[in-house]
Chain A
Amino acid sequence: MSQDLQPEQQRQTFWETMYAVDRRWLYLILIIIVSILVINPITVPNVEDPAAEALYDYLSGLNEGDFVYIESDWTNSTRGESRGQFEALIRLLMRKKVRFCISTLGDPQIPDIIRPIIEGIAQEAGSNNYKEGTDYAIAGYFPNLEAHVSGLVNNIRETVREKRVAGRSIVDTPVFEGITDLSDAKCVVVITGSSTINLWYERIRAKTKLGLMCTAVMSGENIPYYVSGQLVGIAIGAKGAFDFESLLEKEWPADQNPGYKNFTSGRRYMSPLFFALMLLILAVVMGNVAMYQLKRTGRHN
């Protein structure tokens, strides 16, 4: 700053510039911050959210051989949040030897996206060599949410009977042994980026527990259902994925369990998210200070 200008004048020009700054500079800063931290993430410790912990603890407390039904309907459009949640959930169930069946809604390609993820996790240390058709089943894609949820609640075996693994209907595999009704499942976990969960609230009968892993944007409308006990727990967004990952790490510390993979995108996305949000907060503050300064000097229209 040069000495020959009046201090008052200097400040005015500065705030005027700030007030009228091109939004593209903001975009550029955001892109730079996120790029640096995506390439070189900072690892941070976690404090788990109680609602996510409630879901984790419930699932982690299940016995070997218990059955969980998963309704997964995330696609690439919410991959940032949902994939980390999905991976952590599958890891937990496999380590606990809990049987599970997954059906998908939303897009017919989801089974093709999730199958390799599940098979990859099954190969990891601690995953008990999970096999499709023995320990888990993929019931595949169901086009009609309405009919699917009603069908599962009314008659789970008939609803998924058509889906086959190695020529056998999945309900004839060990995965469905002893499962005649949805209430035989210890929990229905819904992983979603859309409002498919609403239909579950409406249709599920009180005997079956319901868990939710959703995007952060959905948390506001769904936390009330956790408070009222309609949900056993709720994992929210990338933080929910990170919560599950940290809880996996607590239960199976990687240094004592060689080969265990506990962390994926949940932790990876935390540091870029933090700095991006810091930028956002800074933007709000700067915008307000600039307005205040201009108002004070009477230059704001």
Chain B
Amino acid sequence: MELLQIDLTLPRTDANLWLVIGLAGLAMFVSAVILFGISRVPSNFRRPLVGMFVFIAGLIWILDWALPKATVQRASGETDSIIPIPIWPYEYDLVMEKVVQGSQVLSGVLLALGVLSILRVHVKRLTKGQKDWPFSVVLLGSMAAMIVIGLGEWIANNREAAGIPGNHEDMKTAFSVVFIDMLQILDAAMFSLIAFFILSAAYRAFRIRSVEATIMMGVALVVLLGFIPLAMALTAGLPTEGLASNFRIENLKSWILLTVSTPALRAIDLGLGLGLLAMALRIMLGLEKGVAVD
């Protein structure tokens, strides 16, 4: 079925570069003008307006869930008997592709917002000469270094791929130093510090005072030992078959994990799932505070 298609893309050749840039600029301008218009709406229209954006965004995914998926011809020759539904002017899968792409860009810019706040704090500390300002210098310096080297490596890679001659290796080496040998190592070290804090907390805070605490500690102990081959030696004397085998520590661990811990966590999971669903609904209908409503 051939539907009316409005093609909003241009084939890109070297000749029409300026045409493409012009059209993209026009799109930006028109969008900016519309948004300027939106910014002028009376304050009692603001809430429904934001709510509308939220609702439409949610509806896109709900339609994706509700609409049948496209036909798939498999290697085995078998075909899934689901009908593709073309939504004017595109097929829905294509729409979804663009939606995911666009949402990436949006969340990317929101992330930049976070970077901006860190920057504000440290630049302020630096310019006002507040306490510990030298550490802000360290932070801003390593941030700048990472940005320069990271983007430099990216450009070097692109130039290499495009066959532009030059020394591309230095940037790549520099990047692997700041990324693999510094950032990733710091990341790993930071996470491993928690081992020490757990140890200290175990000594000071784990007081077996209630039934709950006792159960939790007991289970944690069995699970820990059940994962450690050396600890399994403790019950290695028990037979591997029959009733007594249930008391081998690895079997006890598996039993706890699969039979008691699993349904308990599932109950939490179900609550979580229902909660998310309810919250999603509230958000889409504009009932949730903090999204479209204060």
Whether chain A touches chain B in the assembled complex (some CB pair under 8 Å) = yes
- Using a CB–CB cutoff of 8 Å, the interface residues on chain A facing chain B are 21, 23, 26-27, 30, 42, 44-47, 49-51, 75-79, 107, 109, 112-113, 143-144, 146-147, 150-151, 154, 178-181, 183-184, 216, 219-221, 223-224, 227, 236-237, 239, 242, 270-271, 273-274, 276-277, 279-281, 283-284, 286-288, 291
Give the distance in Å from the alpha carbon of A113 to the alpha carbon of B181 in the complex: 12
**List of A residues within 8 angstroms of B130 by Cβ:** none
Contact B207 A287 (CB under 8 A): yes
**What are 19 pairs between A and B in contact, CB < 8 Å?**
A44-B233, A49-B254, A77-B187, A77-B188, A77-B191, A78-B188, A109-B176, A113-B180, A146-B104, A154-B69, A181-B72, A220-B257, A227-B262, A270-B228, A276-B195, A277-B228, A279-B199, A284-B202, A287-B204
Give the distance in Å from the alpha carbon of A143 to the alpha carbon of B100 in the complex: 12
**List of B residues within 8 angstroms of A151 by Cβ:** 97
Count chain A CB atoms within 10 A of each CB in B72, B184, B227, B258 and give the residue with the most. B227
Contact A23 B203 (CB under 8 A): yes
Known: A274-B231, A291-B207. 9 other contacts (CB 8 A): A26-B200, A27-B196, A42-B230, A49-B227, A113-B180, A180-B75, A242-B229, A277-B224, A284-B203
Question: Shortest distance in angstroms between B287's beta carbon and chain A's nearest beta carbon?
Answer: 24
Q: Which of B16-59 contact A (CB under 8 A)?
A: none
Question: Shortest distance in angstroms between A40's beta carbon and chain B's nearest beta carbon?
Answer: 15
Interface SS, B side: helix
Which A residue sits closest to B150, measured CB to CB?
Answer: A108
Q: Which of B69-86 contact A (CB under 8 A)?
A: 69-70, 72-76
**List of A residues within 8 angstroms of B265 by Cβ:** 220-221, 223-224
Give the distance in Å from the alpha carbon of A219 to the alpha carbon of B254 in the complex: 12
Contact B203 A286 (CB under 8 A): yes
**List of B residues within 8 angstroms of A144 by Cβ:** 100, 104
Q: A144-B104, A274-B228 are in contact. Are A181 and B199 (CB under 8 A)?
A: no
A-B CB proximity, top 8 nearest: A76-B184, A283-B203, A274-B230, A23-B200, A77-B187, A287-B203, A147-B100, A239-B227
Give the distance in Å from the alpha carbon of A288 to the alpha carbon of B198 in the complex: 16
Give the distance in Å from the alpha carbon of A21 to the alpha carbon of B199 in the complex: 13
**Cβ-based interface call for B269 (8 A):** yes
Give the distance in Å from the alpha carbon of A210 to the alpha carbon of B257 in the complex: 20
Contact B199 A75 (CB under 8 A): no
Q: A47-B250, A109-B179, A287-B204 are in contact. Are A76 and B185 (CB under 8 A)?
A: yes
Give the distance in Å from the alpha carbon of A65 to the alpha carbon of B185 in the complex: 38
Contact B74 A181 (CB under 8 A): yes
Q: A47-B232, A221-B265, A270-B229 are in contact. Are A181 and B75 (CB under 8 A)?
A: yes
Q: A223-B257, A224-B266 are in contact. Are A180 and B180 (CB under 8 A)?
A: no
Which A residue sits closest to B191, measured CB to CB?
Answer: A77
Contact A76 B180 (CB under 8 A): yes
Question: Shortest distance in angstroms between B84's beta carbon and chain A's nearest beta carbon?
Answer: 12
**Cβ-based interface call for B63 (8 A):** no
The proximity string for B residues 242-281 relative to A, scoring 1 for CB distances below 8 Å and 0 otherwise, is 0000000010001001100110011001000000000000
Query: Which one of A150, A237, A281 lies within 8 Å of B100 (CB-CB)?
Result: A150
**List of A residues within 8 angstroms of B228 by Cβ:** 239, 270, 273-274, 277
Give the distance in Å from the alpha carbon of A271 to the alpha carbon of B187 in the complex: 24
Query: Which one of B187, B195, B200, B269 lies within 8 Å of A224 (CB-CB)?
Result: B269
**List of A residues within 8 angstroms of B73 by Cβ:** 180
Which A residue sits closest to B200, measured CB to CB?
Answer: A23
**Cβ-based interface call for B90 (8 A):** no
Contact B232 A227 (CB under 8 A): no
Contact A50 B254 (CB under 8 A): yes
**List of A residues within 8 angstroms of B96 by Cβ:** 150
Contact A284 B217 (CB under 8 A): yes
**Cβ-based interface call for B88 (8 A):** no
Contact B199 A147 (CB under 8 A): no
Give the distance in Å from the alpha carbon of A144 to the alpha carbon of B108 in the complex: 11
Contact B206 A44 (CB under 8 A): no
Contact B250 A178 (CB under 8 A): no
**Cβ-based interface call for B221 (8 A):** yes
Give the distance in Å from the alpha carbon of A51 to the alpha carbon of B262 in the complex: 13
Q: A180-B75, A223-B258, A227-B258 are in contact. Are A44 and B202 (CB under 8 A)?
A: no
Which A residue sits closest to B269, measured CB to CB?
Answer: A224
Give the distance in Å from the alpha carbon of A181 to the alpha carbon of B230 in the complex: 44
**List of B residues within 8 angstroms of A223 by Cβ:** 257-258, 261-262, 265
Question: Shortest distance in angstroms between A227's beta carbon and chain B's nearest beta carbon?
Answer: 5
Contact A270 B230 (CB under 8 A): yes
**Cβ-based interface call for B101 (8 A):** yes
Give the distance in Å from the alpha carbon of A159 to the alpha carbon of B208 in the complex: 53
Give the distance in Å from the alpha carbon of A147 to the alpha carbon of B233 in the complex: 47
**List of A residues within 8 angstroms of B196 by Cβ:** 26-27, 30
Q: Which of B128-144 contact A (CB under 8 A)?
A: none
Give the distance in Å from the alpha carbon of A56 to the alpha carbon of B237 in the complex: 27
Question: Shortest distance in angstroms between B171's beta carbon and chain A's nearest beta carbon?
Answer: 14
**List of B residues within 8 angstroms of A181 by Cβ:** 72, 74-75
Question: Shortest distance in angstroms between A104's beta carbon and chain B's nearest beta carbon?
Answer: 14
Contact B93 A154 (CB under 8 A): yes
Contact A283 B261 (CB under 8 A): no
Give the distance in Å from the alpha carbon of A221 to the alpha carbon of B267 in the complex: 11
